[in-house]
Structure 1
Amino acid sequence: MDSVRRLWYRHSPQLFISELLEKRWMEPIVPFTLMCLVFLAFVLTIPGYAGWPNLQQLMRSFPEQALVAMAMAVAVLAGGIDLSVGAVFAMANFLALYLLQILGLPFPVMIIGVLAFGALVGAINGGLIAYAKTRPFLTTMVVLIVVRASYNKLTTAYTRELASASETSDAWDFLGIGTIFGIPVNMVCLVLIGLAAHIYLTRLRPGLQIMAVGSSRKAARHAGIDVKRSLFTAYVVSGLLTAFAGILYAARQNSSGTDTGVGWEVNALAAVVLGGISLAGGRGTIARALIGAVIIFLLINGLVQLGTHGSLTTATIGFLLIAAVGFNVKWQKNKGKVLQKIYVSPTLVEFTPPPSIARDAGTAFAENDRLHAAEAIAYERIEGPEDVILDRQDNLYTVNRNGSIIRFLAPDYEVREEFARIGGRPLGMAMDREENLIVCVAGMGVYGVRPDRSVFKVTDETNRSWLRLKDDSRLYLADDLDIAPDGKIYFSEATIRYDLADWALDGFEGRGNGRLICHDPATGRSTTILKDLAFPNGVCLAHDAQSVLWASTWLCRIHRLWIAGPRAGQCEILVDNLPGYPDNINRASDGTYWLALVGIRSPVYDLAMADPGFRVRMVKQIPPDEWLCPGINYGCIAKFDDDGTVLETLWDPGGHSHPTITSMREHKGHLYIGGLENNRIGRLRLPGADPTWTSWASYWDDASPSAGRRAPVREMA
């Protein structure tokens, strides 16, 4: 029973559902489901509806309406509306027939001429709305009236000529009735244009700027986007799409009637709304517009085949539209709340009682006051120095909460300067052979700072886990790192489910959301070498460079991964059942390792980790400031050796000087101490420590056991 319980919590369906709802392609789930239901209903009620002849006819009749819906979608995504699409579509249909069959112009010239007309009308709409600052609704309605009146006048004047015209071409016939592998040509055109429109709006700068303008014109303007040009471009694109729809319709129908395009603007707008595109702009995709267009098209076509009266068809479409839009709006409004309630998915974590930390316990973890002697450096001149490191000139570097790297100059560390500003939240640091400062930055990846203070990106991605719904190719919370003699950078990503602001939620889950990654500067590639790790944190290369040590914070363990020698590739637990939550690990001068404990375990919290249901109720029902959390008001540093034996500990009971210790670095007989929530850097003299030993020399001096041949380094952009 216990094994089944563990398996249930490890592979909780809640985890799958939460990651499923988090996917962007799940946003139009309501209209997509409705589309499938509508099609299934007609398949069951209309004989032969799913047969190939009927499907082929549906594909031949659908593209024009879909292109008009796409045109409306582009205008709406830009924060506007284009009510002229129906009239422009009708006029484009007439112009295609007029230019080709009456004037006898070549097929390519006709295409260019009609598209130019669509672009011209779009330019008029865009020019008035973007530069004259007229209202999109009124502007496009006026254009609708003018173009529709012109269309009616022209079709009346050229009725005889169009009826008697016989000019055609093979290209024209192929466009109208041809097929490619059984698929109508106009459907193939729709697919290609739909893909191009999707790429344009999601990958290319002009399209992304249209989306940004639709989301917030003020923010777009502050970002340096030419708002007027983007609006103008959106309406030109809308005109081009509508004009091409008119060409396809003319090739298929080869006629122009007074009712052509009438009401298409309403259907297009309904398709956009039904597909889940926000009328406020900036939120939606071309795919959503196409889903909405399919629903409208299937409803009209199916009801007509069932012999439904026209007025009843319109009423049915209106009723379903209102119901679907209402449900979709409700879903979009509450999806975040649903996701919030089910996203945190705790797993079962069972601890054994930890070693006693009582002062009279007689263990290496017995509490003491050794950190009380640490002096404060940079008091009130630093915020959250999560990691500290020193260079060969004894200058002290640390990270600041505002995204910068701060340097305090030796020997007294009174002079403070901003060494570099990276952004994000810098965390763990290491120095390579060239004395570049390599930094893990939460939310950004791994970056470097050269001695001349120039900043460069090392990596912000790794290989994706294809068996997981969540796209984990991008780095979410790069935490700590170390560098091997061959230049490879080993770094931890604490979690792929939460950002730094919500890192505590990962602790409440206790599951393997993190990974260990290796970046090879010689190839520029990053590869995940261990995954499903419970908040992997501190990373340290062993003194002999044969293995990498890393801390699992929530499991209170230190692991060792062998990267060289006969055991390469093997992973083992080196230190288990720590009384606190391990953070950064760094080398000591005597061949051992320093370990920061960011918090201390308590029996109550250990019990909570063994009861996932309790943690779920706590997160859902209790305000965050009342959650049960690990004790982080104790400062503790431990020292352990290559056999995993803890040799000694340094304590600051109550965390009066150094609470939430996250890092420490030995340098020339002193221990420098950093903390995620601290306002100072501690410095403690280490009696008996080598006064000449430095961390940089232990890695890169030729006499060091871990120093090796220099690997070829590729310049990283």
Structure 2
Amino acid sequence: MASFVFVISLLLLSLSSAVFSDDASFQKLPVPGKRSGPESFAFDSTGNGFYTGVSGGKILKYVPDKGYVDFAQITESSNSAWCNGALGTAFAGKCGRPAGIALNSKTGDLYVADAPLGLHVIPPAGGLATKLADSVDGKPFKFLDGLDVDPTTGVVYFTSFSSKFGPREVLIAVGLKDASGKLFKYDPATKAVTELMQGLSGAAGCAVSSDGSFVVVSEFIKSNIKRYWIKGPKAGTIEDFSSLVSNPDNIRRVGSTGNFWVASVVNKVVMPTDPKAVKLDANGKVLQTIFLKNEFGNTLLSEVNEFNGHLYIGTLTGPFAGVMKL
């Protein structure tokens, strides 16, 4: 669904922590420090581990021989003990809550869409994030979610799940079938934020194609994915990309293949069911589906990201990141 569900986070946390897998190809990487919800992943050029954002406003780096280490934080408060556990979720407006993250591979800058606190950037050395924007045209962001960096230009694309409801009201947004989500872009050269799409029904994730010609945007509530053309003869136009993925969340491109992985669930009134990873081609056709109920139960998946022959799988409230060998 959207990048985190405050209202049911404790329920889902307890459910996900009770899930075990006997699949030898699957590994759990538990999040330390009473934090939870490794939602999104970014990989640097070294290929040594990954970055992920967790509850309470921290960005962690996972290094295979060390485990998780603190890398950055959204606010000064993010490192405090009262941003741990349930308090960190409850006080996300103070602590921060990173949702979508992505690296600019050329500069090493890590961009973060923090759901309640806006668009941020973190330098290659880590530390305190710098806020880039918390509004556009005088209108505050209510609920940021997905984010990606164009691999050809460095332009940042990010989504707002809703322009009417905040993260605490996500169940209301879903129940009312809210369609006020938006797609934005941030140009580091001009430092300007531009609105590109509106009227999206739960804009949860976005991903730029490997050639930089278009960006795809998921609509969680509507079970749809749209495509916005960045360049070429269709530049500036919008079209449906795929309606074959149930309740899509984050979308991630698969290197230079032209394909995408999508985190998917079947949304129910009480809780999501049937978590799975769905691979789409550049035309929105399903190439592969991996069912993940044995590994995640009915946890709400947030992202499936392929890197070096493994899938890195994130959740909204779960206590671990999942790694599956392909």
Do the aligned residues in 2 keep the contact of 1:405 with 1:419 (CA within 8 Å)? yes
Q: Is the 8 A contact 1:428 1:480 kept in 2?
A: yes
- Of 375, 383, 391 in structure 1, the residue corresponding to residue 36 of structure 2 is 383
| Unaligned runs of at least 5 residues, structure 1 | 1-368, 465-472, 606-627, 687-717
Written as runs of structure 1 = structure 2, the 5 A alignment for 1:231-270 is none
Match of 2:130 in 1: 456
The answer to whether the aligner puts 1:427 opposite 2:81 as a matched pair is no
Change (3 A) 1:445 1:600: same
- Find the aligned partners of 1:493 and 1:654 in 2 and give their Cα distance: 31
Map Cα deviations across residues 620-672 of structure 1 (whole Å, 9 max, x no partner).
xxxxxxxx34x424321100101111111111226646821111221111111
Query: Match of 1:634, SS?
Result: strand
Matches of 2:259 and 2:22 in 1, distance apart? Answer: 19
**Structure having the larger proportion of residues in helix:** 1
Structure 2 unaligned regions, length at least 5 = 1-20, 75-94
SS, match of residue 136 in structure 2:
coil
* SS state at 1:502 partner: helix
Correspondence for 2:112: 439
Q: Following TM superposition, by how much is the alpha carbon of 1:370 offset from its aligned partner in structure 2, in angstroms?
A: 11
* Secondary structure in 2 matching 1:677: coil
1:542-561 residue pairs with structure 2 within 5 A?
542-561=209-228
Residues 593, 577 of structure 1: alpha-carbon distance in 2 compared, 3 angstrom cutoff: closer
Larger Rg over CA atoms: 1
| TM-superposition CA deviations, 1:287-326 (whole Å, max 9, x none) | xxxxxxxxxxxxxxxxxxxxxxxxxxxxxxxxxxxxxxxx
CA contact (8 A) 2:277 2:292 kept: no
Query: Counterpart in 1 of 2:15?
Result: none
| Mapped pair 1:478 → 2:144 | yes
In structure 2, the partner of 1:274 is none
After superposition, give the CA deviation of every residue in 1:576-635 in whole Å (9 maximum; x if it has no partner): 153x210001112443110001x315xxx6xxxxxxxxxxxxxxxxxxxxxx34x42432
- Give the distance between the partners of 1:373 and 1:522, measured in 2 at CA: 43
Identity %: 27
Q: Is residue 2:55 matched to residue 1:401? A: yes
- How far is the alpha carbon of 1:415 from its aligned partner? 3.0
Change (3 A) 1:533 1:564: same
Return the match for 1:519 from 186, 195, 205: 186
Matched with 1:588 is: 254
* CA shift digits 1:546-602 (9 cap, x unpaired): 000010010101111001000101111111153x210001112443110001x315x
Which residue in 2 is equivalent to 1:82?
none
Mapped to 1, the partners of 2:23 and 2:281 lie a distance apart of 21
Within the candidate set 20, 26, 44, 1:374 is matched to 26
The answer to whether the 8 A contact 1:371-1:651 is kept is no
Match of 2:169 among 502, 505, 527: 502
Amino acid at match of 1:668: N
Give the structure with the larger strand fraction. 2
Q: Specify the alignment match of 1:488 in structure 2.
A: 155
What amino acid is the match of 1:565? G
Which amino acid letter does the alignment assign opposite residue 457 of structure 1? K
1:531 Cα deviation from its structure 2 partner: 1.1
Alignment CA distance shift 1:372-1:574 (3 Å): farther
AA of the residue aligned to 1:408: Y
Distance 1:513-1:370 versus aligned 2 partners, 3 A rule? farther
TM-align CA RMSD: 2.1
Distance 2:118 2:192 in 1: 13
CA distance in 2, matches of 1:565, 1:494: 27
Q: Aligned AA for 2:137?
A: N
- Residues 371 and 577 of structure 1: CA distance in aligned 2, closer, same or farther (over 3 Å): farther
What are the equivalent positions in structure 2 for 1:50-449 lying under 5 Å apart? 373-378=25-30, 382-393=35-46, 394-409=48-63, 411-412=64-65, 414-422=66-74, 423-432=95-104, 433-449=106-122
The answer to whether the Cα contact below 8 Å between 2:209 and 2:258 also exists between their aligned partners in 1 is: no
Shift of 1:463: 2.0
2 CA distance for matches of 1:673 and 1:639?
13
| Counterparts of 1:519 and 1:384, CA distance in 2 | 26
| TM-score normalised by length of structure 2 | 0.80
Q: Could you tell me how far apart the structure 1 residues matched to 2:287 and 2:308 are? A: 21
Give me the TM-score of the superposition, normalised by structure 1.
0.38
Write the letter of the residue equivalent to 2:40: D
Letter of the aligned partner of 2:36 in structure 1?
Answer: E
State the match for 1:632 in structure 2: 272
Q: Which has the higher contact order (CA 8 A, sep 6+)?
A: 2
Query: What letter corresponds to residue 29 of structure 2 in structure 1?
Result: I
Question: Structure 1: how far apart are the matches of 2:96 and 2:274?
Answer: 27
Specify whether residues 475 and 503 from structure 1 end up closer, same or farther in structure 2 by C-alpha distance, changes over 3 A only.
same
Partner of 2:305: 665
Shift of 1:487: 2.5
Q: How many Å apart are 1:379 and its aligned residue?
A: 5.5
